[in-house]
Amino acid sequence: METTAFKVGGMTCMGCVNSVTRVLKATPGVTDARVTLEPSQAAVTFDAALTNPAQLKQAIEDAGYEAT
C-alpha cells in the first residue's frame, strides 16, 4: 500500500468533503481516503497495482474540484 496527499481546491463545506471522499473511495484500489476542509486536503491510501496518483487526481478533478 502507498499513501499520497493532495491539496484540494474548491471545497467550501462538509458536503464537498463528503463528495471528494466518496469519489476517492469509489476508485478501484483505494483502501482509505481522509479528506479535511481545514486545511483543504486529501490523504489517500491505495494499492499501486490498481491505481496511481494521477488517476486519483483525475477523480478529484472529475468531481469538480482542483487537486495539486
Cell numbers of 58, please? 483525475
Q: What's the confidence (pLDDT) of residue 42? A: 98
What are the strands of the beta sheet with 30-36, ordered from one edge? Answer: 30-36, 41-46, 2-9, 66-67
Based on the number of CB atoms within 10 Å of its own CB, is 7 exposed (0-12), middle (13-18) or buried (19 or more)?
exposed
Place of cell 464537498: 16
Q: What is the pTM for the complete model shown?
A: 0.92
What would the CATH number be for the domain defined by 2-67?
3.30.70.100
Q: Which of 34, 32, 45 is nearest to 8 (CA)?
A: 34
If the chain, 68 residues long, is cut into consecutive pieces of 10 residues, what is the mean pLDDT of each piece? 96 97 97 97 98 97 96
The confidence score (pLDDT) of residue 37 equals: 96
pLDDT for 28? 97
Give the residue extent of every domain in the chain.
2-67
